[in-house]
Structure formats: C-alpha cells, structure tokens
Amino acid sequence: MNPIYKSYTKDLILPLLFVLASFGRSTAQTCSTTQGDQTTYGANNVWIGYVYEGSNFNYYHGYVNEGSTSSPNFDESFGGAQVNYATNGCSVYTDTFSVRYKLTQALSGNYTITVGGDDGYRLSLDGGATWAVNMWQAQSYGTTAYTVSLSGTYNIVLEYYEAYGDNRISFNLVRNCTGTGDPTVYGTGNIWNGYIYQGMNFNQYKGWVNEGIASNPGFDESFGNPGGSNSNTYTTNSCSITTYQFSARYRLTQTLPEATYVFTLGGDDGYRLSLDGGSTWVVNKWNDQSYTVSSYSAVLSGTYNMVYEYYDDGGADRVSFAQAYSTLPVTLTSWTVSALDNSEAKLKWTTTDAVNFDHFVVQRSTNGSVFEDVATVAGNTEDSTATQSYTYTDQDDYEGTLYYRLMMVDRDGKSSYSNIVSISLQAAKSIRIYPTVVESGTLFVETSAAVSQAKLELFDMNGHRLQENEWSSLEGRQQVTVGNGGKLPAGAYIARLSNSQTTLAKQIIVIK
C-alpha cells in the first residue's frame, strides 16, 4: 500500500472509531424506564441496590434486591463478566459499573461483618458518613472482616464498583456468641472463676469456667487439646472457643493464715500471676514458649485477690497452678542447682531456725509437674537457729530440662515443699568460663546457644560478691574485665554464670 494512502486511511478511520464508541456509550447512558428513587433503604433483611453505569455511580439504570427475609447475606456475580445485568429499569453491561446497596437494620450484640469484592468495596453503618471497611481499589476478589458491638438501628450502605474483567460482591453478617457472667467477679473457697476469651489479649469474652476444688486451688488444664490441634473447641458456660489464639483470666480471693507459701505455675504459651488484683505480677512469663514451669515463694498473711492470666498462640495448650505452704520449724534461706559436668547436677541449700526438724527428700521431675523421690538427706540432729548448709549431687543423663524441689519433713511427720529449680545439663556443658588463670584482667564467657537474662558474678572465697555483669541475651563469646579496670588482688576467686532460674556454670579462677 502507498505510504501516503496508508497514512490518510489511518487518520480517517481512528477518529471515526472514536465517534462510534462515544455514540455507543452515550446511548447506553440513557434509560427511559429507570425505577427506584436511589435514596430509600431496604428493610426486613432485604437490600435495595441502586445500579449505575460507570465506576463512580455516574448514570443510574435501576434497582435490584439482595438478601432474603431470613438473612441479609448475599454473594452476587452479576451473571458473569462482560454480560448484560438486568435491573428494575435498564440492564447494565458488567464492565465499568457500580452499585450502592442500602439496608436499615436493627442490631444488638457482637457481630462479625465480612465483605468481599472484585473490584472495590466499602461498608458504612451510618448512612455513608464514615466507612468501617474501605477497600475502594481495583483488585482480585478478597474479603475483609470487621468485628463490632452494636445496639440500635443502623442505616447500612454497601458500595461496589467494577473496573474490567471478573465481578463479584459479597456480604456476610454473623452474630457472635457472647459470654454471660461478670468477668470481674472473683472465685472463693479455693475455686477459681476463669473467664475465657477468643484472641490472645482478652479480645472477645466467651464465658466462664471453674478450676480447683474446695480442698485445693491447684489445677492443670489442657483445654481438651493435648495433641496441639488449632481446630479443637473448648466449651464455657456460654460459648465455645477455638483452641487457637485464645486467653484466660482466672480470679480467686483467698484469705491466707501466716505461713511461707510456694506457688508453682506452668504454661504453654504465656502466663503470669498477681496477688493484688493485677496491679503487679509476682511471676511474669508473658511470651510464646513450650510448656515452662516457674515458682514463687513468700511469707503471706491476709486476704489476696489473685489473678492468674494465660494466653495461647497456637499448638499445644496447657496452664497449671499449684499452691503449697509451710509452717515447719525450718526456714529455707537458699536453694540452687548447678552443673558439675554433663551428667551431674549439684544441689545446694541452706536453712535457719531448724527446730523439731527431721529430714529433706530431694525430688526430681522431667516435666515440672510429676516428681519422684531421688534421695533423703538427714537434717542436723540438734535444734538450732544457726545457718546450716546441705548439698546433694544427682547423676542423670536426661537431655532435656530437669526440675528439682525439696520436701521438708519435721519429726511429727508434717511436710512442705520448696520452690522448684531447674537445669539443662546438656546446655550447661556448652558453656565455658576461661581462662582459669587470669593475668591480664580479662575473663571470657562463651556459650554455644543463646542464654536469656544471663548474669556473671565474681565472688571472693568468703562469698562476698565483688562484681556483676548482666546481658538480656548472651550468645557466643563475651569479654569481661574483672575488678576495677582489671585490678584485683592476686588470689583465688569464684566466677558464676546464671540465668533467671538457675546457675549454669561455676569456675574457680586465679588472678595473678
């Protein structure tokens, strides 16, 4: 074809095509049979949807209805992509169109509203003044969930637009089950009131349960989910929860006679205990973790509003509580465990005020809950208020964490328990403190695995602490300067590395 003729033809045809396209669009914009006033709201669960040509409610064509008298929920695909969609008025071609749905609804309770669209969608509960959900953009089909507590009559507006290609808009309203009972009331008589929530931060209250019995406030709860499924359910007095990302707040008021009390707690994942209604936490292990045990002991006397909180982030679910007290004529002043090598744990403890006291039973556990007796250590035969020291070395090749406690028995057969200490012998052998002879004032601590809340202490041979270094997380090799600028008198010293629970390593060093 001649280039001049080709150019002439192109210049003539393109404007003509543009005119024809514009004529077709302008023809589609007019509709002489439109019905509906574009402002009236639907009722009785049935929406009125006002349909427009153009993605910004440009040319009104007529109305449709969605939902039914039994439910306002719907899922509309408009008969498919690039087809004519009929309204009470004129049909609209399903490219570049929009719909404004309106419904007046009386609602009372906690609801989850899920809206989906391809392309843009947005939801208002106040007639379009504000948007609770706003996904006004071109996109493949996706959904947005909105949970809200409602009480009253609401003018709901759901807007939608389609650009090109596939089209779909959906609406789903579900009234959530809400727990009954006042979640601020404390249990009494050793029986906890437990308030259960869906969500890890006490988000949606689902109802209450009880734990403990009249003779003992202790409990060990796995929520019917010992296998760690994220889809099991746990039932309260009102609603069920899914055993995935949930929380519990247990409350108990106790009047305690004066004694030394030991609280042993465990959780997978986070747990924490308060004795003053939640103002402060005497145990705070509020983090994701496999089942871990902690203990707290104190001399208590009076009435206490105890709050025990727990959350689960998925997988195994477990929370436990045990309470013991001692009125024995002996006071436990220290109680520690340290590793001698990878198969020996050295237990050390001191007491005072041993009157009518008989013996100790050393007990060991691999899970922090079920203990077995491993040794009996006799007390001093004479009553004494002086400090008395005891040791016991336990041999065990268990690769996990070992837990120890003392049962203290007096001559009348009464007994009570110490708090729990723990150690991982396998982890302890991967920790080094060196050199044993320090000439430059520099000491090194080396770990092959991270140790949280690590602390290195330096003592003289009389037990006086001379120095302390702390790390929130210790891993690899750390250099430590001993003394004031590396200056300490020549002699023997003890370097001890520990975490928040136990002594991990101890080394006698000589400074020259």
pLDDT digits (tens, 9 = 90+) for 8-56: 333 443 344 333 333 334 345 678 889 999 999 999 999 999 999 999 9
CA 353 to chain centre: 44
CA dihedral 168, 128, 55, 60 (to 10 degrees): 100
* Stated length of the chain: 512
Q: How sure is the predictor about 202, in pLDDT bands with cuts at 50, 70 and 90?
A: very high
| CATH fold group of domain 430-511 | Immunoglobulin-like (2.60.40)
Q: Quote the percentage of the chain above a pLDDT of 70.
A: 91
Measure the CA angle with vertex 105, ends 103 and 108; round to 5°.
Answer: 155
Q: What class, spelled out in words, does domain 192-326 have in CATH?
A: mainly beta
Measure the CA angle with vertex 330, ends 324 and 336; round to 5°.
Answer: 70
Provide the pLDDT for residue 390. 93
Task: Report cis status (omega within 30 of 0) of the bond before 269.
Answer: yes
Provide the pLDDT for residue 416. 81
Q: How sure is the predictor about 486, in pLDDT bands with cuts at 50, 70 and 90?
A: low
Q: Write the DSSP symbol of residue 190.
A: T
Least confident interval from 19-28, 242-251, 362-371: 19-28
Residues 123, 160 contacting (CB under 8 angstroms):
no
CA–CA separation, 504 vs 100, rounded Å? 67
Cα–Cα distances in Å, from 463 out to 171, 392, 491, 508?
Answer: 71, 20, 14, 12
pTM of the predicted protein model? 0.53
Provide the pLDDT for residue 415. 82
Q: Tell me whether the CATH fold assigned to 331-424 matches the one assigned to 430-511.
A: yes
Candidates 427, 422, 425, 469; CA nearest to 448 is 427
Q: What class, spelled out in words, does domain 47-174 have in CATH?
A: mainly beta
Higher pLDDT, 141 or 472: 141
Structural domain boundaries of the chain?
A: 1-26, 47-174, 192-326, 331-424, 430-511
CA–CA separation, 47 vs 198, rounded Å? 31
Q: What class, spelled out in words, does domain 331-424 have in CATH?
A: mainly beta
Q: Where are the beta strands (DSSP E) in 343-400?
A: 344-352, 357-365, 372-378, 388-395
Asked if pLDDT for residue 159 goes beyond 60, the answer is yes
Place of tokens 């039994």: 70
